[in-house]
Amino acid sequence: MLNGPSSLRSGIPAARGGLPAPLLILLGLLALSCNSEQRATGERNLREARVTVDLATQAALSRGRPPTRERAETTGATPGGQPAAADRVEIASGGRLDFYFRLPRAAALTLDAVEGAAARLRVTMRPAGGRERTVGELVSPGGFQALPLAGKRGRIVRLSLFAEGDDRGGRGAVLVRPAVRSPEPPPAASADPAGRAGGRPPHVIVYLVDTLRADLLGAYGDPRGLSPAVDRFAERATLFENAYAQSSWTRAAVASIFTGLGPRFHGANRRDEALSDDAETLAEIFHRAGYRTAGFVTNGNVGPEVGFAQGFGRYNVLGERDLAELHHLSDRVNERVFSWLGRRAEVDDAPFFLYLHTMDPHAPYAPPPAYRPPFAPRPGGRLSAAELGDLERLAGGIDRRFGPNVRSVAPGSLAWLQALHSGLLAVSPERVAELEDLYAAEVAFNDASFGAFIAELERLGLYEDALVIFTADHGEEFFEHGGWEHGRTLYDEQLRIPLIVKFPGQRRGQRRAEVAQQVDLLPTVVEVAGLATTGEHGGSSLVEDGDGAPRTVFSYLDLDGIRLESVVDGSYKLIVGISSPPTPELYDLAADPGETDDLFAERPTVAAYLELLLAAHRASRTALVAPPAAAAPRLRRKLKALGYLG
Ligand SMILES: [Zn+2]
C-alpha cells in the first residue's frame, strides 16, 4: 500500500489516505512522476474517460426520484458553470450512500468536487458474496479526485460512502458529479458477417413461429430431429444461443419486434390495448424507403384492428373466417405467400419486406395426423370418469359455431387445456410428456413448411442476397413452474426463443453466445438495409459481434391481471411481481437454469443491483399511449377461444 505522499506523486492530487497499489497501473492513465505536466495529463485522461456508471442518477433512482429529461432541462447548468442539481448528491453527516454496479475494466471512482465540511468521507467496496474492504478516503472539501477501484472486471459490487467523524458542525457533504469511469475499450475489429449485397437494398424477411421454444430445435440442442429445415438454415446463418423475448404473449412481444421498444414503452400489453399510431414500425421504415411491404399472419392478436398493419401495403390475417380450425396451418400460409412472391416478380423488382407469422405450435396441440406417430409416441394414460365428464362439459361450453376439431376433448384440445388450468385434470409425468410430444409434432410440421418456404426463395433466386430472420414471439410452459402455455410468467421456458439471422450473402454458419433480444431486430434490420429511422428505438444492432460486455434484457407482462417485470444481466435474473408490496425472485441461471432456487434473500448485493437496473429502465424513456383495441366481433370470438375460453 502506498502512503499519502506517494499517492500525491501518482498524479491524483486530491485523494487522501491509503491508496492501493493498482493505482499505479491504472492503464497508463496516470503519470508516475511528480512532473506537473504529466499529472495534468493523467487528470485530464481520467476526466475524459467514459462514464460507465452515473452515480448521481443512481442515487436519484434509489430515492425513487428518477431524473427525467424535463427535470434535467429545468435544473440544467446554472450561470457561472455550476453543475446541474441532478449531478449533485448529498450525504448527511454520519450518513451512508450505497451504489451497485458491475465493475468495469480499470475503473475509478471520480468526483469533480466535494463541497461541504464532513471530516472524513470513507469509501468501501464489497463484491457480491465477498468481503468489504476500504478503497480510500475523499478530501472534503476538495476539487477533482479519483480513487481506483481494483477488482475483477464484471463482478457485481456495492460501493459505499460513509460521512464519518464530523467535527465541523454536522453539515455533511455534497458530491459533485460522482461517477465510475473507465477508459475506452480498444476499437473492436470490424467484422461484418453481413457482407452486404453491393449497394442494392436487400429483401428482408421475418419468419416468426408463434409459441416456439428455442430448445425444441436441433440447432439449439434437441436430439429428436424435429427441425431439419431450420437446422440446415442455421448452418449457413448466425444463430444466437441466448435469445430472449420481451414478453411472454403475442401482442406485447411482436410489438417489440415491430418497434424496437420494450413493452413498457410501446404500450400494447393488455388485451384491450392496441399499438399506437405514434410508434414507428419496421414496416413503416421500409415503406418510406420504397420497399414493398407485406404481412401474412395467423394470429388476430397482431391484426390490423390492434395497430399492427401500420406501414404494410398488404396485411392479411389468414383464417379469420374459418371456424373449423382455430388457426391456419403454416402450409396454407405458404400457399398465400408463394402466390404473393410470384405476382410480385411480375409487377416489379422493388425490394420487399415480408413478415410471416405462423401459428402451428400454439395451443391447442393438434398436429396433422402424419406427424403424430413419429413425433408423439408417448400416451398420457387413461382418463377417470370424472375427468371425462369435466372435459365434455368444458367442450360443450365452446361456441357451437366452431367445428368439431375446436370442440374436441382429445389430449391437447382447448377443453383439455382449460381442464388443466383449472385443476380438473390430474397432472402426471405421462400427461406432461404427452402434451410435450404433441407440441413437438407441431414444431416438426412447421419446420417442414419453413423448409418449403426457403426452397421457394431459392427457386426464385431471392434467398442469397436476402436478410432472413427466423424467430418466435415467446416460448411455452409444460408445468415447469406449475402452469401451462404462456402469458402467465416470465420464467425462461416462456421467454427463451430461437433467433437465427441469415445476413445477405452469408454462407458460413456462426453461433454467438451473447444475449440477444427482440428489440435488437429493428436496429439490426435497419443497419443491414442501410435505412434511417426517425424514432428512438431500444436494443442494439446484432450486425457486429458484441465486445463480450454483458447485455441486459428487460421483459414485461401485463395481461389478465398478471403484472410482472424481469431483468437478465449476466447469469442473474430478477423477476418482480408488480404488486404492493412487490414480490421479487432472484435466480442464477448458470447454476440453476430451471429457476427453482430463489436467491433473493441470500444475495442482497446482486438483488439491489438488478433492482436498480429495472428502476433505470423504467425511467429511461416515455411510454407511448396505447389506444383502445377495437376487435371485430368475429375476431373477438376467435381471440376469446385462443384466450382459452376465458
Ligand atoms: Zn404468441
Q: Are 550 and 569 in contact (CB under 8 A)?
A: yes
| Domain end position, chosen among 150, 182, 214 | 182
Residue 76 placed within a domain:
no
pLDDT of residue 388: 96
Residue 178 placed within a domain:
yes
pLDDT of residue 321: 75
Ligand 1 centroid to Cα of residue 592, in Å, is: 26
pLDDT of residue 191: 43
Rounded-to-10 torsion of CA 557, 559, 561, 563? 10
Number of domains into which the chain is organized = 2
Q: Supply the CATH number for residue 459's domain.
A: 3.40.720.10
Residue 413 placed within a domain:
no
Ligand 1 centroid to Cα of residue 157, in Å, is: 38
pLDDT of residue 544: 85
Ligand 1 centroid to Cα of residue 475, in Å, is: 8
Ligand 1 centroid to Cα of residue 250, in Å, is: 4
Q: Are 108 and 102 in contact (CB under 8 A)?
A: no
Ligand 1 centroid to Cα of residue 633, in Å, is: 21
pLDDT of residue 609: 97
φ/ψ (deg, to 5) at 163:
-95, 105
Residue 392 placed within a domain:
no
From residue 303, alpha-carbon distances to 298, 326, 406, 505 in Å are 9, 15, 21, 32
Q: Please tell me whether residues 123 and 246 are part of one structural domain.
A: no
Ligand 1 centroid to Cα of residue 360, in Å, is: 10
Ligand 1 centroid to Cα of residue 355, in Å, is: 15
Q: Please tell me whether residues 268 and 351 are part of one structural domain.
A: yes
pLDDT of residue 18: 38
Q: Please tell me whether residues 353 and 278 are part of one structural domain.
A: yes
Q: CA nearest 224: which of 64, 377, 29?
A: 377
Chain centroid to CA 375: 32
Q: Please tell me whether residues 265 and 311 are part of one structural domain.
A: yes
| Domain end position, chosen among 128, 152, 182 | 182
Ligand 1 centroid to Cα of residue 299, in Å, is: 8
Q: Please tell me whether residues 484 and 633 are part of one structural domain.
A: yes
Ligand 1 centroid to Cα of residue 490, in Å, is: 14
Ligand 1 centroid to Cα of residue 476, in Å, is: 9
Ligand 1 centroid to Cα of residue 474, in Å, is: 6
Ligand 1 centroid to Cα of residue 109, in Å, is: 45
Residue 388 placed within a domain:
no
CA-based torsion, 398, 400, 406, 407: positive or negative: positive
Q: Are 465 and 200 in contact (CB under 8 A)?
A: yes
* pTM reported for the whole predicted model: 0.86
Q: Please tell me whether residues 335 and 376 are part of one structural domain.
A: yes
Q: Please tell me whether residues 177 and 226 are part of one structural domain.
A: no
pLDDT of residue 11: 32
pLDDT of residue 197: 45
Q: Supply the CATH number for residue 162's domain.
A: 2.60.120
The low-confidence residues of the chain, meaning pLDDT below 50, are 1-34, 66-83, 188-197, 644-646
pLDDT of residue 538: 82
pLDDT of residue 61: 87
CA-based torsion, 599, 605, 610, 614: positive or negative: positive
Q: CA nearest 320: which of 636, 628, 629?
A: 636
Ligand 1 centroid to Cα of residue 7, in Å, is: 59
DSSP label at 382? Answer: P
Q: Please tell me whether residues 162 and 212 are part of one structural domain.
A: no
Q: Please tell me whether residues 228 and 178 are part of one structural domain.
A: no
Ligand 1 centroid to Cα of residue 255, in Å, is: 11
Residue 189 placed within a domain:
no
Q: Please tell me whether residues 220 and 161 are part of one structural domain.
A: no
Residue 187 placed within a domain:
no
Residue 534 placed within a domain:
yes
Distance from C-alpha of 18 to C-alpha of 15, rounded to nearest angstrom: 9
The angle that helices 414-421 and 385-396 make with each other, rounded to 10 degrees, is 120
C-alpha cell at 108: 475509478
Ligand 1 centroid to Cα of residue 359, in Å, is: 8
Q: Please tell me whether residues 115 and 209 are part of one structural domain.
A: no
Ligand 1 centroid to Cα of residue 210, in Å, is: 5
Q: Are 430 and 379 in contact (CB under 8 A)?
A: yes
Ligand 1 centroid to Cα of residue 374, in Å, is: 26
Ligand 1 centroid to Cα of residue 59, in Å, is: 38
Give tens-digit pLDDT for 497-530.
Answer: 999 999 999 999 999 999 999 999 999 999 999 9
DSSP per residue, 20-42 = -GGGGGSTT-S--SS-HHHHHHH
Ligand 1 centroid to Cα of residue 468, in Å, is: 20
Q: Please tell me whether residues 452 and 494 are part of one structural domain.
A: yes
Ligand 1 centroid to Cα of residue 443, in Å, is: 14
For residue 346, the enclosing domain spans: 204-381+428-642
